[in-house]
Amino acid sequence: MKLENKVIIVTGSSKGIGREIATLLAKNGAKIVINHSNSETEANATLETIKAQGGTAIVVQADVSKKEEVTALFDQAIATFEKVDVLINNAGVMISKKLKDNTEADFTKQFNVNVKGVFNTLQEASSKLADNGNIINISSSTVKLMFPTYALYSATKAAVEQMTRVFSKEIGRGISVNALAPGATETELFLKGKSQEFIDKLSSMNAFNRLAKPIDIAKVALFLASDDSKWISGQVIGANGALV
């Protein structure tokens, strides 16, 4: 029970990698704040999964791109569990188009959720996260891959990585701040709209000839959320099977 008595907010944890992280951390003793913006059914399913395995969790709806809702997310977590030890910034959106085909709305949506959302939660964490806590910002290996159609998405994640590095030196109070950058992972968000040919091509690009499973990423998050990782801060940890 590496995380016993730790209270952990996982944004965007109703499905995909976020859900896997939330359930694994709960198995290891953490009290989980499941966050979603508009996936109440899936968030409640995550809650039931955690309860069924003997864990403790609550569901809090909040759009991370809206500052007042992020403030309420932290305040509700503290009102329920009296503290927040770990923040995992997993909420994100991805729109895959050539740069010339993106609309202003596409740009705004991705930067509002992926960048402003992290900005909002880090601001709250600066005063409300417990001393000696941990922050994990979910980035993406697309930052290094230069894949066509990922210009805006990878730009948002590059911004997250740079905020991670700088904020790790600003926050103090014994709090570590890292980014976790998965490679191609079998999630609804990632697989949507992709051909089997493209999925096979991606699989062949790493050292294990497969896509990651969400649990592969969750296990790294477990380490980064635990005290075992305390001397690691200001880093981007790639979890991509030697893809990059």
CATH number for 7-239: choose from 2.70.50.60, 3.20.20.70, 3.40.50.720, 3.40.50.300. 3.40.50.720
Active site positions, annotated: 153
* Burial (0-12, 13-18, 19+ Cβ within 10 Å), 95: middle
Looking up tokens 């305390």 gives 230
Q: Which of 177, 89, 99, 64 is closest to 140 using CA atoms?
A: 89
pLDDT at residue 192 is higher than 90: no
- The secondary element (H helix, E strand) that includes residue 239 is strand 236-239
Place 157 in a pLDDT band, splitting at 50, 70 and 90: very high
pLDDT score, position 219 = 98
Which amino acid would we find at residue 146?
A: M
- Chain centroid to CA 222: 12
Helix (H, G, I), strand (E, B) or coil at 76: helix
pLDDT at residue 189 is higher than 80: no
66-77: average pLDDT: 98
pLDDT at residue 41 is higher than 90: yes
Q: What is the pTM of this model?
A: 0.97
